[in-house]
């Protein structure tokens, strides 16, 4: 188990656009493992490459229904709307209200570079949108409605 340092908002790496991954190398495999370790250790439900200082189009998600690896993800469909609290491991102890689509369809590659399609609703749709935003240098704070506030509890799952 190897934990990577999570970059905090204000770090310019979080504002950069990430590059596509073209092949799974041993370093990428190690990155995926480390990203899951780091995310679980921080009680997060998602983590994107730039949050651990890697400008590659890769995210991991686990909303409590099992680990998902997203390499070069593209959201192909979004509909509906949900408004709710959102937080980010790059802004610990804070949360804000963000409106997101309630349903998304995404295409990505897994850890074996096999392409797959995933449909997400509710929290999963929110997590997918949040993580894909990171790959283009965007934080949820750009979309917050009202104030960003302190949270006293860990993210629920």
Of 5-13, 21-29, 86-94, 119-127: span binding Zn ion (CB under 5 A): 86-94
| Closest distance to Zn ion from the beta carbon of 114 (Å) | 26
**Is residue 135 involved in binding Zn ion (CB under 5 A)?**
no
Size of the site for Zn ion (CB under 5 A): 1
Active site residues: 131
Residue 85: beta bridge partners?
97
- Measuring CA to CA, how many Å separate 57 from each of 37, 61, 109, 132, 146? 18, 13, 10, 8, 30
Residue 48 CB coordination number (10 Å) = 29
* Stretch in the footprint of Zn ion (CB under 5 A) among 8-16, 24-32, 35-43, 88-96: 88-96
Instruction: Tell me the sheet residues that pair with 98.
Output: 84
Q: Which two tokens mark 77?
A: 């469909």
**Contact with Zn ion (CB under 5 A) among 6, 88, 108, 128:** 88
Least spacing, CB of residue 23 vs Zn ion, in Å: 26
């Amino acid at each position: 188990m190897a934990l990577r340092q999570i970059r905090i908002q204000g770090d310019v790496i979080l504002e950069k656009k990430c590059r596509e991954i073209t092949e799974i190398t041993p370093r990428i495999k190690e990155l995926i493992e480390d990203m899951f370790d780091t995310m679980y250790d921080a009680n997060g439900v998602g983590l994107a490459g730039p949050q651990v200082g890697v400008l590659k189009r890769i995210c991991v998600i686990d909303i409590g229904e099992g680990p998902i690896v997203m390499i070069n993800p593209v959201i192909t469909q979004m509909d509906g709307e949900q408004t709710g609290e959102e937080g980010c491991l790059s802004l610990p102890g804070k949360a804000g209200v963000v409106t997101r689509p309630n349903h998304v369809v995404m295409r990505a590659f897994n850890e074996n570079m096999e392409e797959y399609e995933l449909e997400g609703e509710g929290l999963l749709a929110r997590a997918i949108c949040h993580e894909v935003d990171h790959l283009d240098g965007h934080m949820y704070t750009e979309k917050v409605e009202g104030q960003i506030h302190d949270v006293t509890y860990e993210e629920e799952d």
